[in-house]
Amino acid sequence: MNLYIVATPIGNLRDISLRALDILKDVDFVLCEDTRVSRVLLEKYQIKTPTISYFQHSKVSKVRKIISLLEEGKDLALISDAGTPGISDPGNKLIDQLLKDLGDEIKIIPIPGASAVISALSISGLRTDKYVFYGFLPHKKGKETILKEIIGNKFTSVFYESTHRIIKTLNKLQELDLKKKVVVARELTKKFETVYRGDIEQVLNQLNNDTTKGEFVVVIG
């Protein structure tokens, strides 16, 4: 029984490996965070494999169904809406449960590819031999504590932020007197990909003079 963890594009649909396409065509079912989103990718590459919805709030019965399919000898692929499953994504919970229930019987195979955090780090120009990834920051409770930790980090810090909170988060970092280099990547691999660099004041000025629509990765030296 095989479960393939397949990375998919974070924007540009051509950013998918030949191996990933072969796996998605060959497995019996594709587990999707949102089948409607995944359908765009699958249709582009004429992949007709049946899909099953699996997301953060899927019921226990859905996990039982997935286990039953694996026990029947079916091969499955897990994909998220974008990027690598399990990275700021509920895929890791499913893997943990399958390992508990199936143990050594299941083989979990990574099919590497796009990841927003790695893409942003690769163009940051900041140290990447050691870094701390925070995923999505809390909306309120505990957020300031994490921002203070980021300011004091000896290593590069990276986190995701939404269009609705990016300015507020950067303003808070400025208020907390961040003195480090900042790189903010918006809409990576997409048509309006933009990278803002400088100190916190310079980056805020650039963002305030531009649109803040889209998805953001923030990298702090």
Residue 141 has pLDDT above 90, yes or no: no
**33 close to 54: Cβ distance less than 8 angstroms:** yes
Three-state DSSP class for residue 207? helix
pLDDT tens-digit profile of 11-59?
999 999 999 999 999 999 999 999 999 999 999 999 999 999 987 667 7
Q: What is the mean pLDDT of residues 146-152?
A: 96
pLDDT at 110: 97
**Residue where one domain finishes, among candidates 111, 133, 167:** 111
pLDDT at 212: 77
Q: What is the mean pLDDT of residues 81-105?
A: 89
pLDDT tens-digit profile of 83-93?
999 888 778 88
Alpha carbon distances (Å) from 128 to 25, 46, 133, 160: 35, 37, 11, 17
Query: What is the domain count for the chain?
Result: 2
Say if residue 129 is in the same domain as residue 205: yes
Question: Residue 65: which domain range?
Answer: 2-111
Say if residue 182 is in the same domain as residue 84: no
